[in-house]
Amino acid sequence: MKKYLIVGLGNPGPDYAQTRHNIGFDVVDTFVKENEGSFTVERLALRGEVDWKGRKFICLKPTTFMNLSGRAVRYWLDKEKVPVENLLIIVDDLALPLGALRLRGKGSDGGHNGLKDISAALGTERYPRLRFGIGHDFSRGAQVSFVLSHWDQDEVPVIDKKIKESIEVIKNWSVLGIERAMNVSNKKDKK
């Protein structure tokens, strides 16, 4: 059975639940719940599993804060013996419009401290990531409060729809590989 490590980025604790910065947690939560799984408290993360079409997805929500996500990712990659090309990080992105999804096989951290820490821990920027647009409707100097804010009521239907699309991206990536999945999901999202 082929193994994949799916890591949603976010901050632990109820104060951060359902915030823009925690969209990675929300995607992983939905993926595990839709497949009748649950999470257990493990070392450095909440861990769930999904079996789908002969594939095993180890799904993580790191219990370290966002800026220290690399430790959890490195530990679980090694523990589960998952190659880095079978790692997918799901992360919020201020540079993308609300709900836009971009699958990438590699890239810079784009100023995101969670990705920066993961790249440092892995010693490479060559790992797949799914960037989830959270918009950028904030005034100068208000970035931190914006990313830690909850969704506006009118945004919730868009976010719910895009979380479900994110799960399809995860499945496509596992079946098609990064290049073909990028072609499918990134083109679809631009329509």
Return the CATH number at 119: 3.40.50.1470
- Minimum mean pLDDT among 44-48, 69-73, 136-140, 171-175: which range? 136-140
Catalytic residue set: 21
Cα 133 to its chain centre, rounded Å, is: 11
* DSSP code at position 137: -
Structural domain range at position 13? 2-190
Q: Report H helices in the chain.
A: 23-34, 69-80, 113-122, 143-147, 156-176, 178-190
> Which pLDDT score is estimated for 138?
79
| Size of the chain, expressed as the number of residues it contains | 191
Strand order in the sheet with 40-42: 40-42, 45-52, 55-62, 2-8, 87-93, 129-133, 101-104
Q: How large is the average pLDDT for residues 76-94?
A: 97
pLDDT band at residue 1, thresholds of 50, 70 and 90?
confident
pLDDT digits (tens, 9 = 90+) for 119-139: 999 999 999 999 999 998 877
Contacts of 72 (CB under 8 A, 6+ apart): 7, 44, 45, 60, 62, 63, 64
pLDDT surpassing 60 at residue 83: yes
Contacts of 161 (CB under 8 A, 6+ apart): 99
> Which pLDDT score is estimated for 187?
76
Q: What are phi and psi of 22, to 5 degrees?
A: -100, 20
State whether the Cα torsion 49-52-54-59 is positive or negative. Answer: negative
- Nearest to residue 181, comparing CAs of 108, 88, 53? 88
pLDDT surpassing 90 at residue 91: yes
Q: Which amino acid is at 115?
A: L
Percent of all residues in the chain with a pLDDT value above 90, rounded to a whole number: 88
* DSSP code at position 150: B
H/E element, 152: none
> Which pLDDT score is estimated for 136?
84
pLDDT digits (tens, 9 = 90+) for 134-191: 998 877 877 888 999 999 999 999 999 999 999 999 999 999 999 999 999 887 666 5
Largest distance between two CA atoms of the chain: 49
Structure tokens at 154: 């009118």
Overall domain count for the chain: 1
Alpha-carbon dihedral of residues 61, 34, 133, 131, nearest 10 degrees?
60
